[in-house]
Structure 1
Amino acid sequence: MRYLAAGVALVLLATPGLAQSIGEKTGVKSTLGITPTTADFVKLAAITDMFEIQSGELAQERGNAAEKRFAETMISDHKKTSDELKAMASGGDVKVEVPTVLDSVHQSKLAKLKSLSGADFSSRYVIHQVSGHKDAVSLFERYAKGGDHPKLKDWAGKTLPVLRHHVEMAQELAAGQTVGKR
């Protein structure tokens, strides 16, 4: 087992670009509080925005009244941050490619949501909103504290209050769902 751990560490050290992406993708960096690379930050921020917009559109079709109101805010706020991120990249401020499609993890989550309706949809949607926004807060906090691109670092810090508010809103939505169910 010790040899396996040493071998994995050696591979990760030998390929730092790969190690950073794997670490961010698996949540290791988040758990350890390690700052994401600029490329990882941009990729995850863009994918998070796309997921929030697409799942929000689905919630506006299938959700209850509270979920529809919540989704309207998510769509509006995440379109704004998505546009800001794209503007920084297209303006040459951030020299990282912004993804235009969801990664496989978020595609799978969206596909599952599309297969659900009623209470099953509501439950899964709210779970994704709480956990996804907590992950986004962690990502933005870590980049705002230690990111290596000054303009992007500043943007991450300015975006944090909105994301923290989204966590609160999602938690309130979740609390409202559980009232009377116990």
Structure 2
Amino acid sequence: MASCTGIDENVVTATDRQFVKDAAVRNLLNSQTGQIARTRGTTDEIRRYGEVLIRQASTTSEELIALAEKKEIILESTLTSSLQEDVNLLAGTPEANFNATYITKTIESLRTTIQVFEQQIKKGNDNELRSWASTKLPFLRQHLERAQTIRTTNNMQTPATSK
């Protein structure tokens, strides 16, 4: 149905398509880094937090796949080379620096992901995608707040080696 602006709010634009692709890649990043934290975290808190992100990423992935199929958008199944490099660096982080590095990288990643979702809500054309982004934003903010709390309560300093 066309709005009074003459723009069909159910048409998937290039911006909407890019959002779905970006959301899928950001979600994959959370899943992969969460898996690393689950196995390499040196405290139960970090391992549990990684597990939470893995579970959320799994749910989000299922929803994204369904949306992409419905909107006829092809999703990437791999990270960009830059994000893959970040994952590889995290996996190779010395144990003594792992928790702080993981939390720092997660905070940076979640901030970027939140920006991607906020942009879709503000500038996306497709109503269903804007609505979906709106439902996910509170969870992303909650994960960010939790990561910031972990960093603060554990007095984690940003490692000098972080990008």
Rounded to whole Å, the distance in 2 between the matches of 1:53 and 1:119 is 22
Counterpart mapping for 1:29-108 below 5 A: 37-63=15-41, 64-90=43-69, 92=70, 94-108=71-85
2:89 matches 1:112: yes
Which residue of 2 is the match for residue 154 of structure 1?
131
Normalization by structure 1: what TM-score? 0.74
Q: Which has the higher contact order (CA 8 A, sep 6+)?
A: 2
Q: Structure 1 residues 167, 87: CA separation in 2 closer, same or farther (over 3 Å shift)?
A: same
Counterpart of 2:100 (choices 123, 127, 137) is 123
Rounded to whole Å, the distance in 1 between the matches of 2:32 and 2:144 is 18
Q: Percent identity among equivalent residues?
A: 29
Q: Structure 1: which 5+ residue stretches go unaligned?
A: 1-35
The size of the alignment, in residue pairs, is 143
Q: What amino acid sits opposite 1:45 in the alignment?
A: A
Q: Structure 2: which 5+ residue stretches go unaligned?
A: 1-13, 158-163
Q: What amino acid sits opposite 1:89 in the alignment?
A: A
Contact 1:62 / 1:117 at 8 angstroms: preserved in 2? Answer: no
Rounded to whole Å, the distance in 2 between the matches of 1:157 and 1:146 is 12
Higher helix share: 1
Normalization by structure 2: what TM-score? 0.82
CA RMSD of aligned residues (A): 1.6
| Cα shift at 1:77 | 0.7
Rounded to whole Å, the distance in 1 between the matches of 2:156 and 2:126 is 44
Q: Structure 1 residues 103, 179: CA separation in 2 closer, same or farther (over 3 Å shift)?
A: closer
Rounded to whole Å, the distance in 2 between the matches of 1:179 and 1:96 is 40
| Cα shift at 1:179 | 6.3
Q: What amino acid sits opposite 1:112 in the alignment?
A: L
